[in-house]
Amino acid sequence: MNYLVDSMNNLSYNQDIDEIKLFFDEDNYKISFSSRNVVELSKNIYFYSKNGTIFDFQNDFKNQIFFIYKAGSENVKVKFKNITFYNFTFRDFRSFMIMFYNTSIYNYFSIEFDNCTFTEIYSLLFYFEYNCYKSVTLLPQIVFNNCKFT
């Protein structure tokens, strides 16, 4: 996953790319705990799997993924489709599997989980931190469509 995160950040700096679509064709991807998995968001990022690819957090609280919205980024969408999030265990009440951090003053962003499965997750699914001073949309910012929690 480290290589994947590095690749996504390199793509996001490319001015010629409007959005990043990642298609996962392997059955299982292990989330690395050798370093922090940080994705800087400035463009839409889509995580797609045809057959329910598993993101295995290897039962370790250090295997978190952090999504940081870059300053000035607006209307950025993060979407997971047909992804299985698996095997994450907490250490304490502050542990979370995925973090989203946004410093924008507007609420014009979206995070969507579509047909995803969350299994053997013994922690907060995600932690979201943002400061919204000006509401510009009534649409929900976080959506779970047809997801399973087991």
Stated pTM of the model: 0.82
Which range of 5-14, 50-59, 70-79, 123-132 scores highest in mean pLDDT? It is 50-59
DSSP string, 132-150: -SB----S-SEEEES-EE-
Can you say whether residue 138 is alpha, beta or left, with left for phi > 0 and alpha for psi between -120 and 50 degrees? alpha
pLDDT of residue 80: 94
In this structure, of 57-61, 100-104, 132-136, the range with the lowest mean pLDDT score is 132-136
Per-residue pLDDT tens over the stretch 105-149: 666 788 899 999 999 988 888 888 777 777 777 777 889 999 999
Q: What CA–CA distance (Å, rounded) separates 108 from 87?
A: 31
Provide the residue ranges of all domains of the chain, joining segments of one domain with +: 2-149
